[in-house]
Amino acid sequence: MDYRDAGVDIAAADAAKARIRRLARGTFNAAVLSDIGSFGGMFRPDLSRYAEPVLVASTDSVGTKVKVAAAAGVHDTVGQDIVNHCVNDILVQGAVPLFFLDYLALARMDPERVEAIVSGLARACSEAGCPLIGGETAEMPDLYAEGDYDLAGFIVGVVERARALTGERVRAGDHLLGLPSSGLHTNGYTLARRVLFERLGLDLHATVPELGSTLVQALLAPHRSYLAVLEPLLERDKIAALAHITGGGFQGNLPRVLPPGLGARIRLDAWTPPPLFRLIQRGGAVPVDEMYRTFNMGIGMVAFVSPADLHEVEHSLDRRGERSVLMGSVVEGEGVLLE
Amino acid sequence: MDYRDAGVDIAAADAAKARIRRLARGTFNAAVLSDIGSFGGMFRPDLSRYAEPVLVASTDSVGTKVKVAAAAGVHDTVGQDIVNHCVNDILVQGAVPLFFLDYLALARMDPERVEAIVSGLARACSEAGCPLIGGETAEMPDLYAEGDYDLAGFIVGVVERARALTGERVRAGDHLLGLPSSGLHTNGYTLARRVLFERLGLDLHATVPELGSTLVQALLAPHRSYLAVLEPLLERDKIAALAHITGGGFQGNLPRVLPPGLGARIRLDAWTPPPLFRLIQRGGAVPVDEMYRTFNMGIGMVAFVSPADLHEVEHSLDRRGERSVLMGSVVEGEGVLLE
A-contacting residues in B 296-335 (Cβ below 8 Å):
none
A71 touches chain B (CB under 8 A): no
- For an interface test with B, the pick among A48, A65, A106, A154 (most B C-beta atoms closer than 10 Å) comes out as A154
Q: Is the pLDDT of residue A40 over 80?
A: no
Q: Which residues of B touch A159 (CB under 8 A)?
A: 42
CA distance B104 to B118: 9
- The mean pLDDT of chain A is 94
pLDDT value at B6 more than 80:
no
| pLDDT for position A245 | 97
Q: Do residue A143 and residue B142 have CB atoms under 8 angstroms apart?
A: no
**Do the beta carbons of residue A96 and residue A128 sit within 8 Å?**
no
CATH architecture of B175-338: Alpha-Beta Complex (3.90)
B315 burial via Cβ count (<10 Å: 0-12, 13-18, 19+): exposed
Q: What percent of chain B has pLDDT over 90?
A: 91
Question: Helix, strand or coil for residue B240?
Answer: coil
Q: How confident is the model at residue B37 (pLDDT cuts 50, 70, 90)?
A: low
Provide the residue count of chain A: 339
Helix (H, G, I), strand (E, B) or coil at B153: strand
Contact call for residues B102 and B82 (beta carbons, < 8 A): yes
Cβ of B281 under 8 Å from any chain A Cβ?
Answer: no
End-to-end CA distance of chain A: 64
List pLDDT tens digits, range B306-336: 999 999 999 999 999 999 999 999 999 999 9
Rounded to a whole number of angstroms, the distance from the CA of A9 to the nearest CA of chain B is 11
Distance from the Cα of A69 to chain B's closest Cα (Å) equals 13
In CATH, which of 3.40.50.720, 3.20.20.70, 3.30.1330.10, 2.60.40.1930 is domain A10-163?
3.30.1330.10
Which of B9, B20, B54, B55 is the best mutation test for A, with the most CBs of A within 10 A? B55
Neighboring chain A residues of B61 at a CB cutoff of 8 Å: 103, 105, 136, 138
d(CA A142, CA B28): 35
Mean pLDDT estimate for chain B? 94
**For A114-178, what is the HEC assignment?**
HHHHHHHHHHHHHHHCCCEEEEEEEECCCCCCCCCEEEEEEEEEEEEHHHCCCCCCCCCCCEEEE
Report CA-CA distances (Å) from B87 to B118, B154, B231: 16, 10, 11
Lowest mean pLDDT among A35-39, A271-275, B282-286: A35-39
CATH 3.90.650.10 residue ranges of chain A are 175-338
CATH 3.30.1330.10 placement within chain A: 10-163
Looking at chain A, the whole-number percentage of residues with pLDDT higher than 90 is: 91
- A301 min Cα distance to partner chain B (Å): 13
Q: Are B157 and B97 in contact (CB under 8 A)?
A: yes
pTM given for the model = 0.95
Q: Are A293 and A249 in contact (CB under 8 A)?
A: yes
Which DSSP state fits A41?
E
| B198-229 burial code (b ≥16 CB/10 A, e <16) | eebebebeeebeebeebbbbbbbbbbbbbbeb
Chain B residue with Cα closest to A70: B143
Does B123 reach chain A within 8 Å, measured CB to CB?
no
B42/B167 Cα distance (integer angstroms): 32
Cβ-count burial B289-306 (b if 16+ within 10 Å, e if not) = ebbbbbbbbbbbbbbbbb
Q: Is B261 on the interface with A (CB under 8 A)?
A: no
Q: State the pLDDT at residue A36.
A: 65
Gap between the Cα atoms of B109 and B139, Å rounded: 6
Q: In Å, what is the CA distance from B37 to each residue of A159, B16, B25, B79? A: 18, 12, 11, 20
Does A3 have pLDDT greater than 90?
A: no
Element (H, E) at B289: helix B288-294
Find out whether A337 and A217 touch, Cβ atoms under 8 Å.
Answer: no
The helix-helix angle for B76-91 and B227-235 (nearest 10°) equals 20
Report which DSSP code applies to A284: T
Which one of B89, B136, B195 has the shortest CB-CB distance to A39? B89
Mean of the pLDDT values across residues B135-147?
92
Residues counted in chain B: 339
CB atoms within 10 A of CB A108: 17
